[in-house]
Amino acid sequence: MNIVFVTRSYTKKGGISRCVAELAEKFSQGHHVHIFANRWDEVLVKDNISFYKIKVISWPFFLKVLSFVWFGSRKLKTGSFGLVIGPLGDVASADILVAHSCHRAWIEIKKKDPVERLKYWLNPLHHIVLFLEKSSLKKGKYKKIISISRLTKNDLIKYYQLPEEDITVIYNGVNTAEFTPGNKNKYRPGMRQELGFADTDILLLFAANEFKRKGLSTLLEAVALPMQNAPVKLLIVGGDNPGRYTGLIQKLKITEQTYFYGPRRDMNRFYAASDVFVLPTKLEPFGLVITEAMASGLPVITSRLAGAAELISDGETGLLLKDPENPGELQDKIFQLVRNAGYRDKLGANAAVAMQQYSWEMVKTEYEKVCGGLTG
C-alpha cells in the first residue's frame, strides 16, 4: 500500500510532528511511505521513505500555515501517491484526517478571558486555523477522521455537528523502547549529579511549550503550599518564556525550589531523574509527555481535561485532578506521593505496564484497519 503522510515538520520533537514520524516509520515496514513536509530531520531519512519538499511563505507569519496547505494540495494533485493521511489543519482534504486537537474548542475557552479574547481577535493566525479546520471538515473533504481522544471527538461533534460514525478514536502511541522504567537505573544517578540534586531530593517534573495553558501558575502555587519541609524541587522543561513567571516565583518565595531548563531533546533522562510528573493542564487534546512519563515508570498527576487522562485509572495508574486551577487540590495530590515512596513506586510501575498496550506498532495496526476499510 502507498501511504502519504502530510506534516509541516517531520521530526521527533513536539507533538504532531513526533506522532507522524513514529507512525510513518512503522508504516514503512511493509508499505511505501511518502512524506510531504516543509522540513524534516535528516537523521530520520530512510531508504524506504520518500520525501517531498512543500514550500511555504514565511512572512507574514500567519501565511506559513495557509501557504503550506495551498502548496501541499497542489503537489498532491501532480500524481497518484496513495492514501493521504494528514493532520486536521495541515491539509485542505485527505482520505484520513487526523484530529490532534479541535482549535475551535480551545478558542471557546480562551474567549472566556477578556484579555485572551482580545488576543484572539487581533491574531490572524487563529482565524486562518479556524477557517482551515472548518473547511476540511466539510462533507466530501475526508473519508474518515481519526481522533486521538474521546475528548477531541466530542469537541468535533459539538462544534461541527459531524456524524459520530465518521470518527474513530485511536490514541497516540508511545515509544516504549525510548521511554522505559529501565532508564531509571541507567540515567538517574548521573542525571541528578549533572543537575546538582541529591538522591534524597524529591523532583517534580513539568514539561510543556505553553506554560499558561498547561497550568504552570497553578503548579507553582501548589508547590508554595506547606509540605511539611519535604525536599521538593520543581523542574520545568519547555520552550516557553520563564521570565513571565519570575515575579510569581519570587512572590511565592520558591526561587530556590524552581528550576527552568528550556527545551530539551533528552526527556527520557529527565523522566528517569524525576519522582513525579505533574501537568495540571486546562485543555490538552492528548499529551504525549503524559504517556512518555507513564511508560518511563513515573507516577503522573494530570487533569481530566487531558486526552491522555482517558488512559489513566485514577488512583491505580495515576492521579487525576477535578479542577486543574485549584492549587489546594493539586498540592494534596502531590503530597500524597511526596510522603509515600511506596505509593509513588506502585503508581509508576502500574503506569509502565499500562503503556505497553500503546506501542506505536499497535497504533499502526489500528490505523491499518481504518486504511483497509477505505481501500478494501
Q: pTM, whole model, 2 decimals?
A: 0.95
Domains of the chain, residue spans? 2-173+359-375, 183-358
Q: Consecutive 10-residue runs of the chain (376 residues): their mean pLDDT?
A: 96 92 95 96 93 95 95 93 95 97 93 89 94 96 98 97 97 96 97 96 96 97 90 96 97 97 96 98 95 98 97 98 97 95 97 97 96 84
Question: What pLDDT is attached to residue 113?
Answer: 87
Q: For 152-195, what is each residue's pLDDT tens digit?
A: 999 999 999 999 999 999 999 999 999 999 999 999 999 999 99
Distances in whole angstroms, Cα of residue 42 to Cα of each of 37, 48, 90, 163, 343: 12, 14, 21, 40, 42
Helices 124-136 + 103-110 axis angle, to 10: 140
Question: What pLDDT is attached to residue 79?
Answer: 85
The C-alpha cell at 364 is 499502526
Question: What pLDDT is attached to residue 294?
Answer: 98
Same CATH fold assignment for domains 2-173+359-375 and 183-358: yes
Superfamily of structural domain 183-358: Glycogen Phosphorylase B; (3.40.50.2000)
Given a contact cutoff of 8 angstroms between Cβ atoms, the answer to whether 3 and 344 are in contact is no
Question: What pLDDT is attached to residue 227?
Answer: 86
Question: What pLDDT is attached to residue 376?
Answer: 62
CATH topology of domain 2-173+359-375: Rossmann fold (3.40.50)
Given a contact cutoff of 8 angstroms between Cβ atoms, the answer to whether 202 and 230 are in contact is yes
DSSP string, 84-142: EEEEBTTBS-EEEEEES--HHHHHHHHTTSHHHHHHHHH-HHHHHHHHHHHHHTSTTSE
Q: Which of 117, 81, 67 is nearest to 1 (CA)?
A: 81
